[in-house]
């Protein structure tokens, strides 16, 4: 028994478009904010280009399993959830490492600011999530 919405050979007419449209909207907003508020249209065009490329990947790459996992298209099995969970963990570690390095750099320069806040929010969220999830399981 095959459910058509889980079929890996998705036709162009049945591909989800909400996420690509959302990505394009974010790209346009980033371009406008960068251009109008920061007077940096080049940087805004770069951000818009990145979002156009990402939206195109999500829209036209749905036949590839890696893109389906990336876009969280209906998951075929628990393996997709595990891949997404591991990808989030890697991203979390990367952000935490950059935040800690930035915090140490701020301390070395005698100031604290954004990186201290990011470390505080990340650390607090991690501890609270660990406690809550341990109590639920």
Helix axes 114-136, 78-108, angle to 10 degrees: 140
Helix axes 18-36, 41-60, angle to 10 degrees: 180
pLDDT of residue 2: 47
Q: Are residues 28 and 8 in the same domain?
A: yes
Q: Pick the more confident residue, 132 or 68.
A: 132
Question: Is the pLDDT score of 75 beyond 80?
Answer: no
Question: Is the pLDDT score of 101 beyond 50?
Answer: yes
Residues 6+ apart with CB under 8 A from 125: none
As a whole number, mean pLDDT of residues 31-51 equals: 91
Domain that holds residue 106: 77-137
Q: Are residues 101 and 116 in the same domain?
A: yes
3-state secondary structure of 61: coil
Q: Are residues 23 and 44 in the same domain?
A: yes
Question: Is the pLDDT score of 9 beyond 90?
Answer: no
Residues 6+ apart with CB under 8 A from 26: 51
- % residues pLDDT > 90 (the chain): 36
Q: Are residues 122 and 64 in the same domain?
A: no
As a whole number, mean pLDDT of residues 42-51 equals: 92
As a whole number, mean pLDDT of residues 10-29 equals: 76
Do residues 19 and 74 lie in contact, with contact meaning Cβ atoms separated by under 8 Å? no
As a whole number, mean pLDDT of residues 26-45 equals: 91
pTM equals: 0.54
Q: Are residues 105 and 131 in the same domain?
A: yes
Question: Is the pLDDT score of 15 beyond 50?
Answer: yes
Mean pLDDT of all residues belonging to the chain: 81
pLDDT of residue 47: 92
pLDDT of residue 4: 47
Distances (CA, A) of 32 to 45, 48, 56, 62, 84: 9, 9, 20, 29, 31
- Burial of 97 per CB tally in 10 Å (0-12, 13-18, 19+): exposed
């Amino acid at each position: 028994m095959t459910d058509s919405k889980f079929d890996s050979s998705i036709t162009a007419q049945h591909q989800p478009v909400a996420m690509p449209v959302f990505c394009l909207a974010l790209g346009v907003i980033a371009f406008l904010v960068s251009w109008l508020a920061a007077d940096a249209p080049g940087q805004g065009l770069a951000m818009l280009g990145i979002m156009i490329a990402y939206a195109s990947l999500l829209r036209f790459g749905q036949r590839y399993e890696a893109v389906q996992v990336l876009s969280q298209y209906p998951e075929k099995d628990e393996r997709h959830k595990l891949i997404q969970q591991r990808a989030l963990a890697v991203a979390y570690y990367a952000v935490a490492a950059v935040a800690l390095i930035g915090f140490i750099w701020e301390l070395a320069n005698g100031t604290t600011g954004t990186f201290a806040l990011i470390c505080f929010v990340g650390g607090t969220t991690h501890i609270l999530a660990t406690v809550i999830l341990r109590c639920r399981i």
